[in-house]
Structure 1
Amino acid sequence: MAVVVWIVEGTWPACVDAARAHAPEDADIVLLHVTGQEIAGVAHGAFAGLLGRRGSERDPGIEMEHLAADSAQHLLRKAADRLGRPCACTERTGRIEREVVSAAQDADLLIVARDGDRSHLGPKSLGPASRFVVDHAPCPVLLVWPESAPGLSSIPAPPPPPHHR
């Protein structure tokens, strides 16, 4: 069994704990972190467009890419330590939601945490990237709450029945 665990700052412990609880001992587990390229891309563009092209060694986008890679590696190490069993760690860069779906192509299970409004049950508990991943995953998805799930009382009341005249 191949299990992909999407590691995201703030919600990763719940995903790792779900892998520990639900993945068989002989499962091949991949801890996946994806860094979006938007921020570094903006820094590259600003440097090139506003500050000229006087040497790429001063490009702040390059420094941002290095910082993001270091942060991802640190987070993956923490996740692997928490998992406490053999796993592979994968870092990707690109459109986050599409990279996660692509990484899950040959998986038997993808573990994802809710990352939206976690004070209520319902669809808004998923952010845009997670919603895309859940809707487009090529394998079963285990969707976990990063903390205790809200109670059933957090579900909005149904709309009133229509009035007929």
Structure 2
Amino acid sequence: MAVLVWIAEGTWPACVDAARDHAPAGADVVLLHVTPVDVAGAAHGAFAGLLGRGHPERDPGTRLEHLAAASADQLLADAARRLGRPCTRQERTGRAEREVVAASAGADLLVLARDGDRTHLGPRSLGPAGRFVVDHAPCPVLLVWPETAPGSAAIPPPQPSPPPPPPRAPEHR
């Protein structure tokens, strides 16, 4: 069994705990982190366009790429330590939701955490990236709460039923 665990800042401990609790002992566990390209790309663009033509050694985008890589390595190391069993660490760069879906192509289970409004139950507890992954993953998905789930009191009351339509007058021909 191949289990893919999406490691994202702020929610990864719950995902790792769920994988540890639900993946069979012999499962191949892959911890996946995705670094977005937009921040370093914006820094590269700003530097090239405004500040530093001819001085690539001063490009802040390069420094941001190195910082992001170091952060991802540390996050994956922490996740592997918390998992406490053999696993593979994988780092990708791109749009998180698309990279997670692509990586899940060969998985038997994908573990991810809610990434939206976690104070209420319901569809808004999934952000755009999480919703995309849940809707497009080609394998079963284990969706976990990063912290204790809100109680059922967070469910909105049912909407009142609309009144029935008025009776129709008979048609004359």
TM-score (norm 2): 0.93
Q: Any unmatched runs of 5+ in structure 1? A: none
* Aligned-pair Cα RMSD in Å: 0.9
Percent identity over the alignment is 72
Q: Please show how residues 133-152 of structure 1 align to structure 2 within 5 Å.
A: 133-152=133-152
Q: What do the CA deviations read for 1:46-104 (whole angstroms, capped 9, x no partner)? A: 00111141221111001000000000000000000000000000000011110000010
Q: Please show how residues 68-107 of structure 1 align to structure 2 within 5 Å.
A: 68-107=68-107
The amino acid of 2:64's aligned partner reads M
Equivalent pairs counted in the alignment come to 165
The amino acid of 1:70's aligned partner reads A
151-160 vs 81-90, greater mean Cα deviation:
151-160
TM-score (norm 1): 0.97
Q: Please show how residues 39-54 of structure 1 align to structure 2 within 5 Å.
A: 39-54=39-54
The answer to whether the 8 Å contact 2:52/2:59 transfers is no
Q: Any unmatched runs of 5+ in structure 2? A: 167-173
The amino acid of 1:114's aligned partner reads R
Q: Is 2:31 the partner of 1:36? A: no
Tell me which stretches of 4 or more aligned residues in structure 1 moved more than 2 Å: none
Q: CA deviation at 1:160?
A: 1.3
Question: Which of these two proteins has the greater Rg computed from alpha carbons?
Answer: 2
Q: What do the CA deviations read for 1:94-130 (whole angstroms, capped 9, x no partner)? A: 1111000001000000000001111111010011111
Structure 2 CA distance for aligned equivalents of residues 21 and 94 of structure 1:
29
